[in-house]
Copies of this chain bind each other. A is one copy, B any other.
Amino acid sequence: MQNGIDDDTAASCLAALGHPTRLKLYRTLVRAGPDGAPVGALQESLGVPASTLSHHVQALAGAGLVVQERNGRVLTTRADYDTMNRLIGFLTDQCCQGM
């Protein structure tokens, strides 16, 4: 199975998710499933200007929470569940005192 993440990586992930728009964005990608969604579709469903959204997507990508793949003009973004699972593992192991 995947190994754990360090403190600073965990903090980066948490910071990336710690913004209402980005958290909604991430959840939208999770609901979109393993095929992900093009940026344009995210823009429509979140109602955020394209340039703003682009920055938020990059913030999540920088933390490793999403990956992007280009298919022609369309840039598909999808959630990286591995990173999320490692993050949850970190919180469960390091922040819960065996509860």
Chain A residues at the B interface, C-beta cutoff of 8 Å: 7-8, 10-20, 23-24, 26-27, 30-31, 33, 79, 81, 84-85, 87-88, 91-92, 94-97, 99
Inter-chain contact A84/B88, CB cutoff 8 Å: no
Q: Given that A88-B92, A94-B27 are known contacts, is A11 also in contact with B19, CB under 8 Å in the complex?
A: yes
Q: For chain A, what secondary structure do more than half of its interface residues adopt (helix, strand, loop), or is it mixed?
A: helix
Question: What are the nearest 5 A-B pairs in CB distance?
Answer: A15-B18, A14-B18, A18-B18, A14-B17, A11-B23
How many protomers of this protein does the assembly include? 2
Q: Which of B8, B18, B27, B91 contacts A12 (CB 8 A)?
A: B18
- Taking A15-B19, A27-B94 as known contacts, 20 extra A-B pairs with beta carbons closer than 8 A to each other, sorted by chain A number, are A7-B27, A8-B20, A13-B18, A14-B14, A14-B15, A14-B17, A15-B15, A15-B18, A16-B18, A18-B18, A30-B94, A30-B95, A30-B97, A79-B95, A81-B96, A84-B95, A84-B96, A88-B88, A88-B91, A91-B91
